[in-house]
Amino acid sequence: MLTPGGSFGVVQAPDGHLQVKAVDEVGLENVIVHDPGADDPTRAFALSRITDSGVMRRSPIGIFRSVERPSFDDLARQQIATAEGGPADSRDDKQTQLQQLLAGDDPWTVS
């Protein structure tokens, strides 16, 4: 990742943190290439936290993460359908399943 003029780039420090450095100092081969579609969100998160000593003179902008995932709504509806036994179960089947669940494997008789 380079600044528009190409004089600064984002590099990975030996401790793993990302930093904005002059390309002349670190070399173009050490400037990272970011993939927004990567499964691992670590680099995208690190890029979102870069500042120039907290002063915000140089900060990367753009799309840090772009992955296809199911929406929360779709996952919630799927979980509810699974818990209800799916759309194929009839009302009688659900009633029978409930009775079996309440009776258990070893019911007690209280007299």
| Domain range summary for the chain, segments of one domain joined by + | 72-103
Which class for 103: exposed (0-12), middle (13-18), buried (19 or more C-beta within 10 A)? exposed
Instruction: Compute the distance between CA of residue 2 and CA of residue 31 in angstroms, rounded to an integer.
Output: 8
For residue 69, count CB atoms less than 10 angstroms from its CB and return exposed for 0-12, middle for 13-18, buried for 19 or more: exposed
| CB-count exposure of residue 34 (10 Å: 0-12, 13-18, 19+) | middle
Considering the entire predicted model, what is its pTM? 0.53
CA distances from 43 to 16, 36, 94, 96, 103 (A): 10, 9, 47, 51, 53
Give the pLDDT confidence score for residue 73 in this predicted structure. Answer: 93
Residues 36, 56 contacting (CB under 8 angstroms): no
Q: Which stretches of the chain drop beneath a pLDDT of 50?
A: 88-89
